[in-house]
Chains A and B, each alone.
Chain A
Amino acid sequence: MTRYYLTSLTVEGFRGINNEGTPLVLKFRPDAVNSVFAQNGTGKSSLYEALHYAIRKSVPTLAPMQVGESPDRYVNNLFHSAGTATVSLELTPDDGSGLPIEVTVTRDAAGNRAVTATPDVSDPEELLASLDQDFTLLDHRTFHEFIETSALERGRSFAPLLGLSKYSQLRRGLQSAADTRAYNSDFDVQVIDQQIGQTQRVETDALAAFTATYAYLTGLAVTDSAALSTYAGEVVAALESIPLLTSFAHGKRLSELDFAALKAHVLDAEGGALRAELEAQTKLQASLLAIAPNSEEVESHITALEGWCEAYDTQLKLTRGRLTKQLNETAKALIDTGAWSDPLVCPLCGSTLESSIADRIQATLANYDAVRAAYIVLTEQVSAGPLLASLRRLETAPLALDGEENLSASLQSRSDLGTLGPEDVANAADRWRLLEKRRATALAAASSELERLARAIPPSLVEVTTRITSAEQALGNLTSIWHSRTNREGLSARLRLYSEWKTFMDNVAAMAAQAEADLSRQVLTSLESDYQQMFAAIMSVKDIVPSLDRGGSGEHLALHLSEFHGIQDVSARALLSESFKNALAISVFLTAAVRHGRAARFVVLDDATSSFDSGNQYQLMEHIRGSLQAPHRADGLQFILLSHDVALEKYFDKNQTERDWNHQKLHGWPPISPVTAARQDADRLRTQAEGFISTGQTDVAGGLIRQYLEFILLQIITKLGIPVPIDIAIKDHARMVDACLRAIVECVDLHRRAGDLILDPAQVTALSVRHVPALVGNWISHYGTAGAASFSPPALLGVLDDIDQIRSCFQHEVPPGSGSWRYYKSLTARG
């Protein structure tokens, strides 16, 4: 896999960096630690955010803002006339396999993102996505979250850094797919269960009707529900035994009988309108019997439904409407981000709460969940229960009056739409009772009419007609039983197959979880000694040993101290100070980052050491340079450090002349004026100061001269190895010049009196008699007072000259007469 160094970053019109027409360009070296220093407000954060936007498509500072605050408005620089942001990354392959490629991300004034690249990149967005690894962009928040987050979240978020993100995603995806509630819902398990129950009820009703009809036709009882084909044959035999029907029924199966022809034959045998009426009344009676409900069961179901309605209504009264739910969900989202730090303050009104806002929100949302659960129970019971089924049958029969609404259809519809209420159930129950009463009345009337017709028609043929109609009814009952059984078998087979899948997925999820946990543990173990050594190197401790532990098959990643001043296995979070926690997180992240090679062979650290003291900062920098940075380490990474820390800036200054260090500093006044980057060298400071002096801007020049003086004095101290007071190394910024100059002068005087000073006498005299007194008298003693503001341009030029002369007092010409000057090796050796 080709890996890339970040060798250049170009930014225009993004966040604080206006630079309209003159983009800010930063060059980075793959073979050096790259440091960028910027004082507060000079665009450092905008640089980090530009990289974040290019690679991760978001701006971390703006992400927590509410939509109402219009965060999108602040991505592009507000003062750029075109309103367009441009971020270009130059990426250089680490294996020399090709020329650097450039990927450019633009964001127009309407917020549209577009990505282009040099022609040899087929999919620039995909290339940027490949750079998006957990270690690519690191800031103090990343490390803070790593320490302070829960063990579960740490385990999940750390997986990508171990190169195991896909395994983690697989594990979580499989667990999600094996979730029982989701399975029940997505595979309609309860619905199918209810459908199976419904087919059972239909079969029971049809079997009961068939049993009665069979007994009437044959005088026998149904004793074996599995022998229905036999019983069908007995029904045919019963008809065949009637001489008038023998020729029609002989040799046929029940389903093959032509009942219309049988009835027509009987009619022909005797004729008359009474017979047609007899048949009509017989049919009516049969149909009314067929839809007869099990009233006791339905009434019992209505009572149960009233209970579920009451439960639903009770839950509903505990809530306060949809807007309150949305408000609580929004507040929960805010709390979940971690942005709301005080759990006892209401994020809406700011009032103080007696209990945690998270607990309150959880309790409120739980009420809404309970309403939904109660509603689901109610609708499932309505849909699957006997009330709706019976009402549907009664409404299908001609029992409803004109203008009466079809309540079974509206009940189902309201259930499906989620608008079902207790009044709907009550109305349906009332309608069912009304229709059942009408059905019973109609049945009684039909039976009475049949008796009347039976008396008016010759008995023998009345009986024949009744038997034909009953046989036809028996065929309908058997058909209904057969359909019910077939449907139930199909539904049961489906449910068994679904259940087999669920069992399979449970097994897969458990297997993948265990395998992923084992693999994570294996990788963590391989990293352990490296991050422990790095932590010890940064913090200079041997009796505090951190350890990451992935126990069991869960995703939890416990962070503890296997050794803490002689005590074993204690909490890192509870015992470590902020800087130790930060160092631990950095050690873990950088160790893992170096170990697992990805497309991005660079790490950007933004103010990652803000909680460190100076000593630890330097040790971290030295560890990065000596142990992690390419090419000191063959598989090392390219590091890009962004900092506004003044003490660290001194360290960067000190290193900038080294071959393995590339230091730059940002200048400018964002967000209106351009930001520029320049190598922090003495000549640039001097040139800039002269420029401001020549235009009369002595106050601006004064600051640059001070920086120039600091730089030269620190260079002399560093090059000649002059011992300095400890306070120079611990940020005594205000007295830096005074302390450095005193250290130099006293050390020169010491060696002069010892007789081993390497400086020639003219240099010693110039230093002690002319330039140091002039510098102190004309500059240092006034700089900290208001008097510094009144320096004239010639006086400032004189100060610059004194600084240069002081430097030359510590240099010698190599070779003599060449015009090339070099620092002495020390105050006692020429070098």
Chain B
Amino acid sequence: MTSFSFDNDLAFEDNLKAMIAALAETSPSMAGILSRHVDVLLNEADEPQRRRNRDLFNKTVRAELDALLAGGGK
């Protein structure tokens, strides 16, 4: 597991950026995909809505991975 800490003096958005930047050091393409779609997972939600968010997230991530495989990834 990559070691990382949130900084209580930073806003959440800045901490999230820092976390993704830390991930990008070892997995830049994966971190890029997470960065583009993580907002879907941040919506305040009950459990059923969270599952729907997860389904949407996985669907969009899969499309990006398929595009990456086809040589058209971002």
Question: Which residues of A are interface residues toward B (Cβ below 8 A)?
Answer: 165-167, 169-170, 172-174, 176-177, 179, 182-183, 186-187, 493-494, 497-498, 500-501, 504-505, 507-508, 510-512, 514-516, 518-519, 522-523
Give Cα A518 to B19, complex, Å: 14
Cβ-defined contact, B41 with A519, below 8 A? no
Cβ-defined contact, A504 with B42, below 8 A? no
Give Cα A173 to B58, complex, Å: 11
Cβ-defined contact, B41 with A174, below 8 A? yes
**A504 / chain B contacts, CB cutoff of 8 Å:** 23, 27, 30-31, 34
Cβ-defined contact, B51 with A173, below 8 A? no
**A172 / chain B contacts, CB cutoff of 8 Å:** 50
Give the shortest distance, in Å, between B44 (CB) and chain A (any CB): 6
Give the shortest distance, in Å, between B24 (CB) and chain A (any CB): 11
Q: How many residues of B contact A (CB 8 A)?
A: 38
Cβ-defined contact, A173 with B6, below 8 A? no
Cβ-defined contact, A511 with B1, below 8 A? yes
If A494-B66, A511-B2, A515-B6 touch, whether A187 touches B23 (CB-CB below 8 Å) is no
Interface residues as binary, B39-74 with A (CB distance below 8 Å gives 1, 0 otherwise): 011111100001101110111011001101100000
Interface residues as binary, B1-36 with A (CB distance below 8 Å gives 1, 0 otherwise): 111111010001001100100010001001101100
Give Cα A609 to B8, complex, Å: 33
Give the shortest distance, in Å, between B22 (CB) and chain A (any CB): 8
Give the shortest distance, in Å, between B60 (CB) and chain A (any CB): 11
If A166-B42, A169-B44, A497-B69 touch, whether A176 touches B5 (CB-CB below 8 Å) is no
Cβ-defined contact, B16 with A170, below 8 A? yes
Q: Which residue of A lies closest to B40 (CB)?
A: A173
**How many A-B residue contacts, CB cutoff 8 Å?**
96
If A182-B54, A187-B62, A497-B68 touch, whether A169 touches B42 (CB-CB below 8 Å) is yes
Query: In terms of DSSP, what is the predominant structure of the interface of chain A?
Result: helix
**A167 / chain B contacts, CB cutoff of 8 Å:** 6, 12, 15
Give the shortest distance, in Å, between B15 (CB) and chain A (any CB): 8
**B1 / chain A contacts, CB cutoff of 8 Å:** 507, 510-511, 514
Could you list some 15 contacts between A and B, CB below 8 A?
A167-B15, A177-B58, A182-B54, A182-B58, A183-B58, A494-B66, A498-B62, A501-B65, A504-B31, A511-B1, A511-B2, A514-B1, A515-B4, A515-B6, A519-B5
Cβ-defined contact, B43 with A176, below 8 A? no
**A179 / chain B contacts, CB cutoff of 8 Å:** 54
If A166-B42, A494-B66, A523-B8 touch, whether A177 touches B54 (CB-CB below 8 Å) is yes
Cβ-defined contact, A173 with B50, below 8 A? yes
**A494 / chain B contacts, CB cutoff of 8 Å:** 65-66, 69
Give the shortest distance, in Å, between A743 (CB) and chain B (any CB): 54
**A516 / chain B contacts, CB cutoff of 8 Å:** 6
If A169-B44, A177-B54, A500-B30 touch, whether A507 touches B2 (CB-CB below 8 Å) is yes
Give the shortest distance, in Å, between B31 (CB) and chain A (any CB): 8
**B51 / chain A contacts, CB cutoff of 8 Å:** 176, 182
Give the shortest distance, in Å, between B10 (CB) and chain A (any CB): 10
Give the shortest distance, in Å, between B14 (CB) and chain A (any CB): 12
Cβ-defined contact, A501 with B30, below 8 A? yes
Give Cα A167 to B18, complex, Å: 13
**B58 / chain A contacts, CB cutoff of 8 Å:** 177, 182-183, 186-187
Give the shortest distance, in Å, between A487 (CB) and chain B (any CB): 14
Q: Which residue of A lies closest to B59 (CB)?
A: A186
Give the shortest distance, in Å, between A381 (CB) and chain B (any CB): 24
**A511 / chain B contacts, CB cutoff of 8 Å:** 1-4, 19, 23
With a 10 A CB-CB cut-off, give which of B3, B55, B62 has the most chain A CB atoms. Answer: B62
**A173 / chain B contacts, CB cutoff of 8 Å:** 38, 40-42, 50, 53-54, 57
Give Cα A266 to B65, complex, Å: 53
Told that A515-B4, A519-B5 touch, could you supply 15 new A-B pairs with CB distance under 8 A?
Answer: A166-B12, A169-B41, A170-B41, A173-B40, A176-B51, A177-B54, A179-B54, A182-B51, A187-B62, A497-B65, A497-B69, A501-B65, A511-B2, A515-B5, A519-B8
Give Cα A812 to B66, complex, Å: 91
With a 10 A CB-CB cut-off, give which of B6, B43, B62 has the most chain A CB atoms. Answer: B6
Give Cα A167 to B8, complex, Å: 11
Cβ-defined contact, A515 with B19, below 8 A? yes
